[in-house]
Amino acid sequence: MGQLQKKFESYRLPQHFMELGVYPYFREITGKQGTEVEMGGHKVLMFGSNAYTGLTGDPRIIESAKAALDKYGSGCAGSRFLNGTLDIHVKLEKDLAEFVHKDEALCFSTGFSVNAGVIAMVGGREDYIICDDRDHASIVDGRRLSFAHQLKYKHNDMEDLERILQKLPYEAIKLIVVDGVFSMEGDLAKLPEIVELKKKYNCSIMVDEAHGIGVFGKQGRGVCDYFGLSDEVDLIMGTFSKSLASIGGFIAGDWDTINFLRHSCRTYIFSASNTPAATAAAQTALNILKSEPERLEKLWDVTHYALKRFKDEGFEIGDTESPIIPLYIRDAEKTFLITALAYERGVFINPVVPPACAPQDTLVRYALMATHTKEQVDRSVEILKGIFVEQGIIKA
């Protein structure tokens, strides 16, 4: 056995939960993502997806992906920098830039590579990157790759953010990077307050709209649009893997910054470009989002209904303002147990344990789609309440 194997031979935490019969990961789905899916030989209500718009199985998107596959083939066999740029990549970038009120946009193969690459590139050795301590892992990895000074403030604590900014050189580049919607807790960044601090301390702002696009703002343009602050945000990032029913991501900003990133960002110029099918699917989803405002109305109708149901039944759901509803358990082993019991009784939800949250904040994450019905919400709430009562988390 080599040294590398010796290092990991004692890692048996997953096996511990397997032995307990509550291991929740890598379950196989045997059909399309939807509000109900076939999994493990039985149907479950899907409340563990990020497909907020409910478009992953839309026949228009599937047909557009098939057409792109026929026209362009299965892949580009190269990076955007060289032989991998298609006309549909350029069209999608132009439409995304317009959608989020920016000059230009760049499309990447994954959302993770947007944050990992862009944040690493925009900050130099004399610059500063300041993050919320609950920012997504891709933001964390991006700042780790950067040569800039790295700082973080307590979650949504504007006093703590200002305390940090007060100590930094006024003329230095200071980039505040924040999730628009925090992916586990469902609460929003305090963007109006962050913008005020930007102006006061001469900062720049980057907002990750992964969970905001397709959910907030006019036609689902995101949290920046929702607050009317798109012009005040320097860089807007988004993904295709959630509301846009595909895979990939983008960064949008002013012409000069995007010009620099187009020719310098390592995760962009050294990665193969997004597949034709994925690009076409994202384009069609974006078109649907802009043309069907009733889809967002349905999402918010069922979201408000679910939020009220959980509150009325006594669940602790924190400060969520979105279709992401955290159901707090505050015990890691019970979090896995409750996830397993819910799955057995027909509800798929996601366990959230460290490092995705603090040890005292473990929860199960319940997320809604525009295609969920109130009857499905009722059924899931009844099942989950029974389990939470059994486990002593809430009262009957």
For the chain, the average pLDDT equals 96
pLDDT of residue 336: 96
Q: Phi and psi of 204, rounded to 5°?
A: -125, 160
Between 255-264 and 111-122, two packed helices, what is the crossing angle to 10 degrees?
Answer: 100
Length of the chain: 396
| Separation between Cα atoms, residue 37 and residue 331, nearest integer Å | 28
Percent share of the chain, pLDDT over 90: 95
- Answer yes or no: are the C-beta atoms of 52 and 214 closer than 8 Å: yes
Evaluate if residue 330 carries a pLDDT over 80. Answer: yes
The arithmetic mean of pLDDT across residues 157-163, rounded, is 98
pLDDT of residue 102: 98
Which helix (H) or strand (E) covers residue 212, if one does?
Answer: none
Q: Which residue from 75, 61, 172 is spatially nearest to 126, judged by alpha carbons? A: 172
Q: Phi and psi of 98, rounded to 5°?
A: -65, -40
The arithmetic mean of pLDDT across residues 308-331, rounded, is 97
- Answer yes or no: are the C-beta atoms of 85 and 271 closer than 8 Å: no
pLDDT band with cut points at 50, 70 and 90 for residue 7: very high
**Structural tokens at position 382:** 């009844």
Residue written as token pair 């919607």: 181
Give the model confidence (pLDDT) of 371-385 as tens digits. Answer: 999 999 999 999 999
pLDDT of residue 359: 85
pTM of the predicted structure, to 2 decimals: 0.96
- Answer yes or no: are the C-beta atoms of 109 and 274 closer than 8 Å: yes
Higher pLDDT, 357 or 303: 303
pLDDT of residue 357: 85
Evaluate if residue 1 carries a pLDDT over 80. Answer: no
pLDDT band with cut points at 50, 70 and 90 for residue 386: very high
- Answer yes or no: are the C-beta atoms of 329 and 338 closer than 8 Å: yes
- Answer yes or no: are the C-beta atoms of 352 and 335 closer than 8 Å: yes
Evaluate if residue 278 carries a pLDDT over 90. Answer: yes
Evaluate if residue 391 carries a pLDDT over 80. Answer: yes
pLDDT band with cut points at 50, 70 and 90 for residue 356: confident
Evaluate if residue 266 carries a pLDDT over 90. Answer: yes
